[in-house]
């Protein structure tokens, strides 16, 4: 086995459960380090890493963590300490994976620290909150939340097999990770929706033929955030941002916004960057009954039982364009924005429900006027639909030029 699996819990309340998991890990040949993140007192089981040791990693010292009177503040402070502790352990080459156990408080404590570990490093939490909206726990990471079904409060006929499955899962991931081949090809980030798939597929195939490792991100808010995190970490060395639809959700109020920092990490990294306006004809909501009342009389399209799309208006498109321009005007490296004049998604084409040349022109014209064009920052119109092969080829050509002139 490679370096240790770090097994983490508040051992004052989850000691029996963590001890059971560690026993299974060691029986399966794993080497483990137990980490106590209790905030109210030590547990019955001695930990390899005590709560005092973890708390001492906080920038304000252990006493700041362990002497908090408010439980929420104590959990937040211990979480910061754990993140710093695991970061240092990983940088020292001692972490092959991490597994945590927790209820709502324990999951809120452990999840941020595990999210901070690199993507690809195995990380699992057996949790009581591993259902419903888990975005706050997972964020832009590959953290796996495993439902505990019953509370993490004792060993019984339900909890034993679930904890055993979790132990075997982390063991399998750690073992498999050591045998996976690593890519030496430069990575390029691409953004895609179902309605821009033909374009992105053609771009991906061309780039792969050029020797690139293409990472395609679903533009659902988290997708854009994850791509930018990998750019900031230096794992992605260029971006073709075909599908910037997350801007519409950010501006209009849909369910897939990428947040106010969209584009910033890419621009700060100064990587070769080409982008377009894919799926900016739509704002995303959940099932039809979840669409806010102010949009009920608008042009809506049921994409599936869980996704309802709202067609953007000319005014909304102008707002999206100004939002994008405010970010893109900060660029200091080569940047090209390519505009497909004949439509920005599968639904924005003649005979399709979102075909609206007037709304599109509001977007295109505002981008051209709001973006401060320079020799390094260009906006180009092309007489194609976004899913035409000619448009995909133009994106690739622009990216190749950006790489060559970097």
Q: What is the pLDDT of residue 182?
A: 64
Neighbours of 87 (CB within 10 A): 16
Stronger pLDDT, 116 or 44, i.e. the higher one:
116
CB 33 within 8 A of CB 20: no
* Distances in whole angstroms, Cα of residue 329 to Cα of each of 3, 127, 373, 389, 398: 46, 44, 8, 29, 19
Name the pLDDT band for 406 (thresholds 50, 70, 90). Answer: confident
| pLDDT for residue 343 is more than 60 | yes
Determine the pLDDT at residue 45.
Answer: 79
pLDDT range class, residue 401, cuts 50, 70, 90: very high
* pLDDT at residue number 51: 94
Instruction: Determine the 3-state secondary structure of 367 from DSSP.
Output: helix
**What is the model's pLDDT at position 183?**
65
pLDDT of 399 > 70? The answer is: yes
Q: Where are the domains of the chain?
A: 4-177, 187-404
Per-residue pLDDT tens digits for 137-181: 898 889 999 999 999 888 999 999 999 999 999 999 998 876 555
In the predicted model, is pLDDT for residue 335 greater than 50? Answer: yes
Left, alpha or beta for 349 (phi > 0: left; psi -120 to 50: alpha)? beta
Please state, in angstroms and rounded to a whole number, the distance separating the CA atoms of residues 203 and 210: 11
Average pLDDT over residues 268-277: 98
Instruction: Among 87-101, 139-153, 328-342, name the one with the lowest average pLDDT.
Output: 139-153
1 has pLDDT over 60: no
Mean pLDDT of 21-50: 90
Angle at 81 between CA 123 and CA 57, to 5 degrees: 125
The tens digit of pLDDT for each residue in 219-270 reads 999 999 999 999 998 999 999 999 999 999 999 999 999 899 999 999 999 9
CB 186 within 8 A of CB 237: yes
Tokens 């910061």, residue located: 80
Residue 164 CA to chain centroid, in angstroms? 28
Q: Is the pLDDT of residue 321 over 80?
A: yes
pLDDT at residue 242, as a whole number:
98
Taking residues 194-213, report their average pLDDT.
Answer: 96
State yes or no: pLDDT of 27 exceeds 70. Answer: yes
Say which CATH topology domain 4-177 has: Rossmann fold (3.40.50)
* Averaged pLDDT, 186-212: 96
Query: Model-level pTM?
Result: 0.80
pLDDT of residue 133: 82
What was the pLDDT predicted at 2?
A: 57
> Is the model's pLDDT at 200 over the cut of 80?
yes
With a pLDDT cut of 90, the percent of the chain lying above it is 85
Read off the pLDDT of residues 177-188 as tens digits, 9 standing for 90 and up: 765 556 689 999
Q: What angle do CA 247, 250, 256 make, to 5 degrees?
A: 90
**Topology classification of domain 187-404:** Rossmann fold (3.40.50)
């Amino acid at each position: 086995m490679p370096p240790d699996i770090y097994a983490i819990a508040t051992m004052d309340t989850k000691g029996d459960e963590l001890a059971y998991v560690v026993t299974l890990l060691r029986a399966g040949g794993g080497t483990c380090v137990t980490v106590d993140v209790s905030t109210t007192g030590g547990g019955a089981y001695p930990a390899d890493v005590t709560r005092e040791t973890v708390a001492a990693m906080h920038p304000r010292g252990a006493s700041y963590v362990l002497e908090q009177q408010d439980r929420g503040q104590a959990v937040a402070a211990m979480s910061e300490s754990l993140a710093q502790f695991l970061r240092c352990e990983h940088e020292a080459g001692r972490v092959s994976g991490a597994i945590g156990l927790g209820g709502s408080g324990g999951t809120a404590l452990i999840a941020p620290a595990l999210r901070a570990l690199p993507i690809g490093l195995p990380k699992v939490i057996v949790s009581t909150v591993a259902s419903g909206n888990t975005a706050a726990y997972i964020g832009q990471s590959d953290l796996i939340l495993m439902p505990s079904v019953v509370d993490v409060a004792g060993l019984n006929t339900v909890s034993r097999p679930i904890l055993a499955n979790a132990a075997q899962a982390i063991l399998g991931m750690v073992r498999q990770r050591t045998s996976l081949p690593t890519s030496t090809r430069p990575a390029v980030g691409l953004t895609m929706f179902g309605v821009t798939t033909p374009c992105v597929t053609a771009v991906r195939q061309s780039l792969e033929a050029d020797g690139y490792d293409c990472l395609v991100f679903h533009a659902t808010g988290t997708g854009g955030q994850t791509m930018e995190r990998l750019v900031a970490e230096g794992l992605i060395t260029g971006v073709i941002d075909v599908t910037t639809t997350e801007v519409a959700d950010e501006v209009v109020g849909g369910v897939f916004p990428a947040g106010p920092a969209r584009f910033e990490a890419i621009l700060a990294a100064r990587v070769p960057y080409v982008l377009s306006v894919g799926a900016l004809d739509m704002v995303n909501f959940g099932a039809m009954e979840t669409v806010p009342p102010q949009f009920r009389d608008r042009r809506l399209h049921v994409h599936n039982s869980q996704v309802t799309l709202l067609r953007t208006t000319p005014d909304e498109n102008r707002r999206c364009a100004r939002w994008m321009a405010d970010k893109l005007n900060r660029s200091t490296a080569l940047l090209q924005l390519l505009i497909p004049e004949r439509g920005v998604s599968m639904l924005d084409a003649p005979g399709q429900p979102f075909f609206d040349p007037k709304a599109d022109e509001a977007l295109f014209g505002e981008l051209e006027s709001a973006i401060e064009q320079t020799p390094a920052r260009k906006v180009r119109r092309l007489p194609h639909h976004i899913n035409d092969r000619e448009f995909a080829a133009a994106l690739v050509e622009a990216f190749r030029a950006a790489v060559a002139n970097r």
